[in-house]
């Protein structure tokens, strides 16, 4: 019987990532008043994330965990456990604030603070970043240069754009972008072209909304062209018993739909496809990553 490693070598190696945040920190329930209550709300991020690691261990799969600095400060043991298990630790920012709601200075402080917290906990360099709610847009042209200046190697905050003739998004999930501060890799979230309409492909809420057969079909389309897929989920998406938050009907629908089905769908996904962290799946990033580490790059000093 072929080992999991042999199976992965024979398949397209896709990217698997998780945005590590609390169930109450999602954009559907944002408000200034609620943000002030975060420390008084029930935390479920550690138990949910550890459950994810059990599923990954069973499937012999590693992933990238984009961790909020706010979460890391309150659950340092979780971050250390993820790193010890061989998963990649990357930054999701500190306070889950949209990039488009921050000034350049605020954004720099946010990504620097989160990077330092994670590096202090793991003793390893953090090279990846994903913005809350994928909020790096045309309105924030300064964001990528700041990431370069702060030592990030790649960003994964932007949805890929398709060409009219394509059934799926970009031919490659990664592109090198040259900014005013230097180059950075963009590990783009894929999109699909459905009747001329650009739609995000399965991940997060879309993975919960679509039947698994549809998600599987879309990933198979990527594999037919040898294209890597970037998959993302949140720990709270495998937790149907989480406390219910107050919000609009639409917000509740977006957040709670099919939570009871997500864990099984993830198990199917891990069975049917091969996944790895960004740092392993994307060769250009892997090569530069290794060169930086071997060149003596060190984690940041204590954040002041």
pLDDT at 266 over 60: yes
Give the closest residue to 62 by CA, choosing from 74, 71, 53. 53
The CATH-assigned architecture of domain 10-22+43-294 is Alpha-Beta Barrel (3.20)
- Better pLDDT: 301 or 148: 148
- Return the bridge partners of 231, or none: 16
The pLDDT of 13-22, averaged and rounded, is 97
Structure-token pair, residue 45: 């991020």
What are the φ and ψ backbone dihedral angles of 302, each rounded to 5 degrees? Answer: -60, 135
- The tally of CA atoms less than 13 A away on the side-chain side of residue 173 is 30
For residue 194, list its beta bridge partners. Answer: 197
Cα-based distances in Å from 46 to 60, 83, 95 = 21, 14, 17
Residue 198: per-residue pLDDT? 65
pLDDT tens digit string along 187-211? 998 876 655 666 667 788 889 988 9
Can you give the pTM of this predicted structure? 0.90
How many other β-carbons are positioned within 10 Å of the β-carbon of residue 127?
A: 23
Q: Looking at residues 284-295, what average pLDDT do you find?
A: 84
* H runs (alpha helix) in the chain: 4-10, 32-35, 45-58, 69-74, 76-84, 104-122, 143-149, 205-209, 212-224, 249-256, 259-272, 278-281, 283-294
- Greatest C-alpha distance within the chain: 56
How do residues 50-62 score in pLDDT, each as one tens digit? 999 999 999 999 9
Q: pLDDT higher for 197 or 280?
A: 280
Pairing state between β 197-200 and 174-179? unpaired
Give per-residue pLDDT as tens, 26-48. 887 776 547 888 999 999 999 99
213 has a pLDDT exceeding 90:
yes
Nearest to 263 by CA among 51, 61, 9: 51
CB 53 within 8 A of CB 251: no
Is the pLDDT at 116 greater than 80? The verdict is: yes
């Amino acid at each position: 019987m072929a080992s999991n490693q042999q199976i992965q070598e024979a398949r397209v190696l896709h990217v698997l990532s998780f945005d590590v945040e609390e169930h109450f920190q999602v954009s559907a329930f944002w408000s200034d008043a609620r943000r002030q209550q975060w420390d008084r709300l029930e935390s479920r991020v550690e138990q949910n994330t550890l459950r994810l690691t059990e599923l990954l261990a069973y499937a012999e799969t590693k992933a990238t965990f984009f961790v909020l600095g706010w979460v890391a400060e309150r659950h340092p043991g979780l971050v250390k456990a993820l790193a010890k298990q061989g998963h990649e630790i990357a930054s999701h920012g500190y306070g889950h604030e949209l990039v488009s709601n921050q000034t350049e200075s605020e954004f720099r402080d946010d990504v620097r603070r989160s990077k330092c917290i994670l590096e202090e906990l793991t003793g390893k360099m953090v090279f990846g970043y994903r913005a809350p709610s994928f909020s790096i847009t045309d309105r924030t042209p300064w964001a990528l240069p700041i990431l370069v200046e702060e030592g990030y190697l790649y960003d994964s905050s932007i949805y890929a754009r398709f060409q009219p003739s394509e059934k799926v998004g970009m031919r490659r999930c990664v592109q090198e972008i040259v900014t005013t501060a230097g180059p950075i890799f963009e590990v783009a979230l894929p999109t699909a072209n459905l009747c001329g309409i650009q739609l995000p492909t399965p991940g997060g809420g879309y993975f919960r909304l679509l039947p698994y057969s549809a998600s599987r079909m879309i990933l198979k389309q990527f594999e037919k062209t040898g294209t890597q897929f970037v998959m993302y989920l949140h720990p709270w998406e495998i937790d149907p018993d989480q406390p219910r938050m107050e919000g609009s009907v639409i917000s509740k629908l977006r957040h709670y739909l099919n939570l009871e089905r997500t864990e099984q769908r993830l198990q199917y996904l891990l069975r049917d496809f091969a996944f790895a962290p960004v740092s392993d799946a994307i060769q250009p990033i892997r090569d530069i990553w290794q060169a930086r580490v071997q060149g003596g790059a060190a984690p940041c000093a204590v954040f002041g």
